[in-house]
Amino acid sequence: MADDLDPVVTRVLQCTEEARVGDARVVVLVDGRSGSGKTTLGRRLVAAWPAHLGRVQLVHLDDVYPGWHGLAAASRAVESTILDGAAPGWTRWDWERDAPGGWAGLDPAVSLIVEGAGSVTRASSARATTTVWLELDAGERRRRALARDGATYEPWWDVWAAQEDEHVAADEPRALADLVVELRAEPDASR
C-alpha cells in the first residue's frame, strides 16, 4: 500500500490547493470502508502537509466512535462538533472501559484532516475543502483490518460492515468525494 499512497498524497494535496479559498482553514475528509487505508493516508497527509498551509490537526474517527455500534454517531459528531466553527472537538471514546472519555478540543483556526468510515456525509462534505473516498476490494480490506486488529475486531467485522453499508446507502460518500482512489491489493508474498 505504501507505493499506492505516495501519488495519492500528492493528488489530495493538489486537489486541496485548487479548492482552497483565500486563507480559510483547510478541511480534508478521508472516508472508505474498514481496511481501505484511511488512517495511513491521514498520517501521510500530515507528514507531507505543506508549510504554506499552516499547521494541521488529525482526527481519527476510531477515537470518536462510541463503541462498535457507533459509526452513525461519529458521522453526526463530524457534522456538528468536530466541524463546529466556534468550539470544535469531540468526546473521546475509551475503548478499554467501553465508555465516554474526556473532551478533545480542536483549534478552529488550524487546518483539519478527519479520517474514518462515516466522515463524508452530505452535511460534512458541504463544509470540507476536499473529500476523499478510498476503494479497495472486500477481501483485501478484511485481510488488512484483521492483520491490524486481529481477534479484537474479528467478531465485530459483520456488525461494522452493516453500519458501513448503511452509511454508503444513506450518504453516498463515493459520489460526494472530490477524489475517488481505487487502491490495489498487495501482492501475496507467499507465492
pLDDT at 24: 80
pLDDT at 191: 35
Domains of the chain (ranges plus CATH)? 2-14+25-182 (3.40.50.300)
pLDDT at 157: 87
Question: What pLDDT digit, counting tens, does each position of 164-190 carry?
Answer: 999 999 999 999 999 999 987 765 544
Side by side, which strands form the sheet with 130-135?
56-60, 111-115, 27-32, 130-135, 179-182
Q: Which residues contact 162 (CB under 8 A, 6 or more apart)?
A: none
157 CB neighbour count, 10 Å cutoff: 16
pLDDT at 102: 95
Low-confidence ranges of the chain (pLDDT < 50): 1-2, 189-191
End-to-end CA distance of the chain: 18
pLDDT at 187: 54
pLDDT at 4: 62
Burial track 27-44 (b if 16+ CB lie within 10 A, e otherwise): bbbbbbbbbbbbbbbbeb
pLDDT at 94: 96
pLDDT at 1: 43
Q: Which helix (H) or strand (E) holds 62?
A: none
By DSSP bridging, strand 99-105 and strand 89-94 are: antiparallel
pLDDT at 83: 95
Q: What 8-state DSSP symbol labels residue 66?
A: -
User: 141 is written with which cell numbers?
Assistant: 480490506
